[in-house]
């Protein structure tokens, strides 16, 4: 039976990302789930399709930002139970550049049968 979409489920997903355990994170995605990154060569970011692509991306990211951590600020689930939002501040240090991250952002989640079918990440950055 699929897990009901709730604020508790969103908190579990946040905790999975903060563990940086990619296999644990992938448990929340549908097999053909999509993760749209905050940055990329186009305004939509990079659209990663499927668990393998998502896992490869996250393993690479965590290899050079090993202390990446999302500090949840608030979350909510739509009345229909298909959508959720997690608003957070992400911190960490990019080992490649030495730059420290501290970005406000959010994830917009879309669920089907209790699994993530789309995760779209947005963040604000100082320029």
**What average pLDDT does this structure show over 71-87?**
96
Q: Please report which confidence band the pLDDT of residue 125 belongs to, taking 50, 70 and 90 as the band edges.
A: confident
pLDDT of residue 2: 64
Q: Element (H or E) spanning 56, and its range?
A: helix 51-64
**Does position 117 have pLDDT exceeding 80, yes or no?**
yes
pLDDT of residue 74: 97
Residue-wise over 94-116: b if at least 16 C-beta within 10 A, else e? eeeeeeebebebbbebbbeeebb
Residue-wise over 38-49: b if at least 16 C-beta within 10 A, else e? beeeeeebeebe
pLDDT of residue 113: 94
Kindly report the number of other CB atoms within 10 A of residue 127's CB atom.
Answer: 2
| Class of the CATH domain delimited by 7-124 | alpha beta
**Does position 126 have pLDDT exceeding 80, yes or no?**
no
Reduced to 3 states (helix: H, G, I; strand: E, B; else coil), residue 12 is helix
C-beta separation of 118 from 109 below 8 A: yes
Phi-psi region of 5 (alpha: psi -120 to 50; beta: other; left: phi over 0): beta
**What average pLDDT does this structure show over 46-68?**
98
């Amino acid at each position: 039976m699929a897990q009901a979409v709730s604020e508790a489920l969103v908190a579990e997903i946040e905790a999975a990302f903060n563990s940086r355990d990619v296999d644990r994170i992938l448990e929340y995605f549908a097999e053909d789930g999509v993760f749209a990154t905050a940055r990329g060569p186009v305004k939509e970011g990079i659209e990663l399709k499927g668990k393998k692509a998502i896992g490869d991306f996250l393993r690479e990211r965590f290899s050079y930002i090993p202390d990446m951590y999302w500090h949840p600020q608030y979350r909510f689930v739509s009345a229909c139970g298909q959508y959720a939002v997690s608003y957070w501040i992400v911190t960490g240090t990019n080992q490649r550049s030495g730059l420290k991250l501290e970005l406000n952002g959010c994830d917009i989640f879309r669920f089907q049968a209790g699994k993530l079918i789309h995760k779209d990440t947005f963040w604000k950055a100082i320029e």
